[in-house]
A and B are shown apart, each in its own frame.
Chain A
Amino acid sequence: MTEILDQIRQRFGAEWQHVQRPDLLQIGVDAKKVVPLLTWLKEHTPFVQLTHLSAVDWIEEGQFQLTYLLTDPTAHVSLMVCARIDRDAAEAESVSALWPQAVTYEQEINEMFGIRFPGSPRQGVPFILEGWDDIPPMRRDFDTVAYMNTRHPPRPGRKHTDPRAYVGQVFGERGFLHDD
C-alpha cells in the first residue's frame, strides 16, 4: 500500500515519510497542504475515515505537530498525516467540514494544548476541565507536579520513593529477578 505515499508526494509534496508497519504508513506534510490533502484522500482514495486527531508538543523546536490518523476500513491500513505548526501562534485549519467527529477532537486539542481551529464549533467550550485557570495542561511547560502540590496537596506523612531506586533494591541491577 505504499503507492499512496508516492502519490501524495507527487501531488502535494512531502517533508518526510516512513513505513512503520505494512498497515501503518506515516507522512509529514506542510501545514498549509493538510486540508487539500485530506480532502483528496477522503474523496479519491480508500482512506475515508478519520480515526484520530492528536497533537504533539515539540517544545525544543518551538512547534506543535498535528497528527491526523486516517484509516482504510476495507484494507485495514492506517495513514498518519503529520503537520507542524508554530507553537506561539498555534492555529490550524479545521477539518470539521469533512468529518463531523473532528469537532470533538479539535475541541479537546484546543482545551489541552491551546491550538486554535478557527471555524470549528465548540472551540473554547470546556470538555473535561471545567473552570480551568492555568495554561493548557498537555503543553510540556506545564508542571503537573507543581500544580498538584498547590491544588491537590498530598496527605502529610506520605513517603516518596524513586521507582528506579526501588526497582534496583528489589530486583537488582538488571532490573528483573534473576536466579543463576
Chain B
Amino acid sequence: MATTTKKKLPVFEPPAGSLAHAPLGQGCFLGETERLQAPKLKEALATIKNWFRANSLWVMAYGTGCGAIELRPLVTSRFDFERFGMAMRPTSRQSNVLIISGYLAVKSLKRVIRAYEQMPSPKWVVGLGSCTINGGMYWDSYNTINRLDLYLPVDMYIAGCMPRPEALLAGFGDLMQRIKRGEANGWHHYLENFDWYKANQKKVITDWNMPDYNW
C-alpha cells in the first residue's frame, strides 16, 4: 500500500526510565467496577437528597443524534429549561443526565458507554425519540441499535420524531417527579445487572478496546 509523501515531524522521546510516575493502581481502579452503597444509608436522607437532585439536573451537552436539534431551542429564551434548574455541562464528570437524542450508531454507542460510566453516580438516561424505543425511522439499518435499554438503563423515554421542546419539558418534568418519588434508579439497575449489560454491549461492539468499566 503506497503512502503519500508527508514529512514526518521529529518526535523526541525522553530517555528510558527518566520520567518518574506513580505506580499504576494507586488511584486507578483497574479491573474494578463501581459498588452500590449500603441501602440503609440511602433511606434516611432520601427525600431531601432526591429533592436537591431533581431541582438541579445538569445535562451533559452531548448530542448523540438528530434529536439534539430540539434540545437547542429548549435552552434558548422561548422554552427556557434553566428555570427548572437545569443546565448544560460540557463534561461528564459534572453532569447527571445523559440524553440519547435519537438514533444511536454502534460507533456512538461505544463512546456513549464510556461517557455514561464516567458520570458520577446518581445519574439518569433519557431516551429521546422513537429510535431509542424501537428503532424508529432507522429500524432496519445495519448501523443503529433498536433497543436502547439493552445497553444502558433508561429512566425516561420521550416519544416523538423528534419530540418538540414542549414534549421535552413534559418529559423532564416527569423525570423530576420520578426522581423525587425515588423511582428513577437506573444506575442501580446498571450496577446490579452489570454482566448482562456488558454482554449485550459486547455483542454489538465487536472491537472492544476499552476497560470493562470506564471510571
Interface positions of B from 1 to 37, Cβ below 8 Å from A = 1-4
Which of A119, A128, A131, A154 has the most chain B CB atoms closer than 10 A to its own CB?
A131
- A-side contacts of B145, CB under 8 Å: 152
Q: Find out whether the CB atom of B142 lies under 8 angstroms from the CB atom of A148.
A: yes
- State whether B141 touches A144 (Cβ < 8 A): yes
**Interface 9-mer from B59-67, B103-111, B182-190:** B103-111
The answer to whether A168 has its CB under 8 Å from any CB of chain B is no
Does chain B have a CB within 8 A of A46? no
- Of all chain B residues, which has the CB nearest A137? B142
**Is A35 at the interface (CB under 8 A from chain B)?**
no
CA–CA, A119 and B207, complex, Å:
27
B140–A144 CB distance below 8 A: yes
CB distance from A149 to the nearest CB of B (A): 9
- Complex Cα distance A145/B138, Å? 11
**B207 to A148, Cβ gap below 8 A?**
no
Known contacts A119-B2, A121-B4, A131-B205; is A154 also within 8 Å of B146 by CB? yes
The yes or no answer to A162 lying at the interface (CB within 8 A) is no
Q: How far is the CB of A35 from chain B (nearest CB, A)?
A: 15
B135 proximity list for chain A (CB < 8 A): 148, 152, 154
A129 interfacial by beta-carbon distance below 8 Å: yes
Find out whether the CB atom of B140 lies under 8 angstroms from the CB atom of A158: no
Q: A130-B106, A158-B134 are in contact. Are A148 and B2 (CB under 8 A)?
A: no
Within 8 A of B (CB), among A102-141: 118-119, 121, 123, 128-134, 137
By the criterion CB–CB under 8 Å, are B146 and A131 in contact? no
Give Cα A142–Cα B2 distance, bound, in whole angstroms.
30
Q: In the complex, A110→B40 CA distance in Å?
A: 57
What residues on A are CB-neighbors of B133 within 8 Å?
Answer: 155
Q: With A and B bound together, what is the CA distance between A151 and B139 in angstroms?
A: 12
Cβ contacts under 8 Å, B147 to chain A: 152-155
A151 to B140 Cα, complex, angstroms: 11
Query: Is B142 touching A154 in the complex (CB atoms < 8 A)?
Result: no
- Assess whether B134 is in contact with A152, with CB atoms less than 8 Å apart: no
CB <8 Å contact, A152 and B207: no
User: B146 → chain A, closest Cβ, in Å?
Assistant: 4
Q: Within 8 Å CB of A133, what residues of B?
A: 206
Interface residue A12 (Cβ < 8 Å from any Cβ of B): no
Listed residue (A123, A148, A153) with the most chain B CB atoms within 10 angstroms of its CB: A148
A77 to B2 Cα, complex, angstroms: 34
Q: Decide yes or no whether B144 CB sits under 8 A from chain A.
A: yes
Complex CA distance for A147 and B142, rounded to whole angstroms: 6
Tell me, in angstroms, the Cα distance from A151 to B200 when the chains sit together: 10
**How many angstroms from the CA of A121 to the CA of B1 in the assembled complex?**
8
Q: How far is the CA of A123 from the CA of B4 in the complex (A)?
A: 12
Q: Report how far A137 CA is from B134 CA in the complex, Å.
A: 22
Contact B146 A152 (CB under 8 A): yes
Q: Which residues of B contact A153 (CB under 8 A)?
A: 146-147
- CA of A123 to CA of B3, assembled, Å: 11
Q: Given the known inter-chain contacts A148-B139, A152-B144, please indicate yes or no for A128 contacting B204, CB distance below 8 A.
A: no
B193 within 8 A of A: no
Tell me whether B2 and A130 are in contact (CB under 8 A): no
CB distance from A163 to the nearest CB of B (A): 12
10 closest cross-chain pairs (CB), A and B = A131-B207, A131-B206, A152-B146, A137-B142, A155-B134, A147-B142, A144-B142, A145-B140, A119-B2, A148-B140
Chain B residues engaging chain A, CB cutoff 8 angstroms: 1-4, 105-107, 110, 133-135, 139-147, 203-207
A-B contact pairs, 18 of them (CB 8 A): A119-B2, A121-B4, A128-B105, A130-B110, A131-B205, A131-B206, A133-B206, A137-B142, A142-B142, A144-B140, A148-B146, A151-B142, A152-B135, A152-B144, A152-B145, A154-B147, A155-B133, A155-B146
